[in-house]
Structure 1
Amino acid sequence: MWPYLDKAICKTARDISKPIIAEQIPKYKIQSVDFETLSLGTLPPTFQGMKVYTTEEKELIMEPALKWAGNPNIHVTVKAFGLKATVQPHVDFGLKLLGADAMAIPGLYRFVQELIKEQVANMYLWPKTLEIPILDPGKARKKPVGVIHVKVVKAMNLKKKDLLGASDPYVKLKLTEDKLPSKKTAVKYKNLNPEWNEEFSMSIRDPQTQALEVFVYDWEKFGSHEKMGINVVPVKDLTPEETKVLTLELLKSIDPDDVRNEKSRGQLVLEVTYKPFKEDEMPDDPEDSGTVEKAPEGTPAVGGLLVVTVHQAQDVEGKHHTNPYVRLILKGEERKTKTIKKNRDPRWEEEFEFMLEEPPNDDKLHVEVHSVSSRIGLLHPKENLGYVDINLADVVSNRRINQSYNLIDSKNGRIQIELQWRTS
């Protein structure tokens, strides 16, 4: 395949460059410029894989990784005044310093010219590898060592951001050194002293370096939401197992020398608790593949045990109330989690089992998230917060899957489900 692609690509390059060259060469009294030899070589590019990841803007990005360690053969010939010559790239430059030509300094031009030529020559070598340290290896793949519980209580004395009316504030919480999406409260419309009383939990991997970033935004129906203020709570400043009530001044930036921070933007009240894990509570890293346990005695020889762990959900919100629980349905059997009150980012960590007579290659696990009212006699006692159907063929072949799924009929909701297929 590659020899045919090589010819096609080179033909396209010739066809594109030919009219451009023909238009330019008369200016320089050149008869012709042509590719005497043009080939991309005998080594084709190789497909190294596909990188897939999501962003906070709800995008799915897929980046193919191609690598070409080629051996191209390219010769350009120039004809002028009856002479024929091979053209080699040449790099020239000048350096002006306070109106004077610094290249006039004896010896400097030759030294810098040779240095530049050497660097340009290196750029023509294949393969050219550039290594960029993305993450300190000491911080990579750290397991959670604790959890931080945050209750967003209220804000006070916020400033008007809307020309007509007050502001529509909401709060975003995010941990530094964490790639997970931000936690968000509900929007309080036209309110400069809003009360939320919403609770969130986030895993801590390094309490000495991580910090809780707190943002207050003014919601806008159209365009970007305007930031009303920011503050930061270092985890190391929190006493473990002790709930701390914090009244944070909202700042323009986290730069302590920013004079704009002197202007009052309001206050935000939080209740924060950091709880380190004990040795027997230390969770496994969800990215560690590990081994899958065997099914217990009595499991059908041909079938197996499907273990479903409902970890957590994010951004689930009801119209009238948000007290979420999860309902699992497989082959007519139903399981339910406990109900967590007033929480848009609930965490269950509950495990359920389905004993199956045969592998569920053609079956789907139906997952529903509902909210139930805590008040008797409410007009809307139950709300659907979203659902997803999970094909089980993958877990049969891979034995274990742990991933987050987007909820259907939910604006931004996601749920993290872990599946294990155990056989005897």
Structure 2
Amino acid sequence: MSFFLGLVLGVAFGIGLVIAFARSQNSRSAQRRELAATLARFSKMTVEDSRKILPADLYPSWLKWLNQELIKIWPYVNEAASELIRSSVEPVLEQYRSAILDSLKFSKLTLGTVAPQFTGVSIIEDDESGITMDLELNWDANPNLVLDIRTKLGLSLPIQVKDICFTGVFRLIFRPLVDQFPCFGAVCYSLREKKKLDFKLKVVGGEISSLPGISDAIERTIRDAVEDTLTWPVRKVVPILPGDYSDLELKPVGTLEVKLVQARDLTNKDLVGKSDPFAILYIRPLRDRMKTSKIINNDLNPIWNEHFEFIVEDINTQNLTVKIYDDDGVQASELIGCAQVRLKDLQPGKVKDIWLKLVKDLEVQRDKKDRGELLLRRLVYGKNPNRRFRCGIPTIGTGSTSVGIRAGCGFSKSGASGALVLSL
């Protein structure tokens, strides 16, 4: 009897141990999953989010000190920098000025009373060659900024730029390190990431919505100027000590050759007849680097068969942008659709056709409307810095676009529909 009792107790005890072990493992597994989910949520947090849930003493006191000092000196910065900004920014705006505008200059420019605030700092690189630092900055500005614009039709207007809101990450590079004060030869600065750039335009004494096309042209000019002149890999080099710092500047590394052939099934933007489409292609939206195709009148399936070349400075970060417009004569051309190709996706060794949809806005991807497609044929080439590569693909029956990169010194995105055929 005792034997059977012991057997039953032993089995029960063993089963209990197994159940307890299984429950322990399940509990630990659940804890690990919860921890992983928590870490994933933390990884998606912005600096602003973290400040809402974490105590202030977790952030370095010197960052608070830096912002306080910036607030103190901001009135003097505003007074000293306004004229300097005017003289340096006006030529930049002229480079990116939309074709509908004849001139664009400042009549008033002050930075306002609200100083920018640093919200985060991180050291990216710290070695013998130099120091690379990223600073996250937020600026809810109240500048007094008025632009005097003149259109191609001779209309002159004062346009106020107001309610500027900017958040981004600036990169500072101190290089080279030297044994002479201040211990570095030059500073490079660049906008590493633009998180937010919002502003409003207002005609002084009027309403800008009564001037179709003007608001879009001015906004496009401002955004292109800010993003293309500051966004990485573009960088500004400020010498601190005498020396040659040309190696820090952005330099061409190759040439992109494009044959624009055709588009198909474009949305009709005209109430009478059909659209008169033309294409604008660019890697950087500088006026002297943007390429414009011929206008194909009254055709939603235009065929161009035109060749273009583009300078490439950084294959890892730059894109080829194609925008299709409807020509409206003396009025502002209306966007039909756009598409973008990342140059780093052009891999050597094989030809591949890829269909990309034409979209309304390259930065807004929420639009699920079917607006047509863009066909890309990608031809890959080597990256040997000692050879020059010229890539081309024969035109297919319905048209194609050939795109290649010639490397000379190594390699270190309004409604829309239709399809644009490109071969890369």
- TM-score, scaled to structure 2: 0.34
- TM-score, scaled to structure 1: 0.34
Select the structure that is richer in helix. 2
Larger Cα-atom Rg = 1
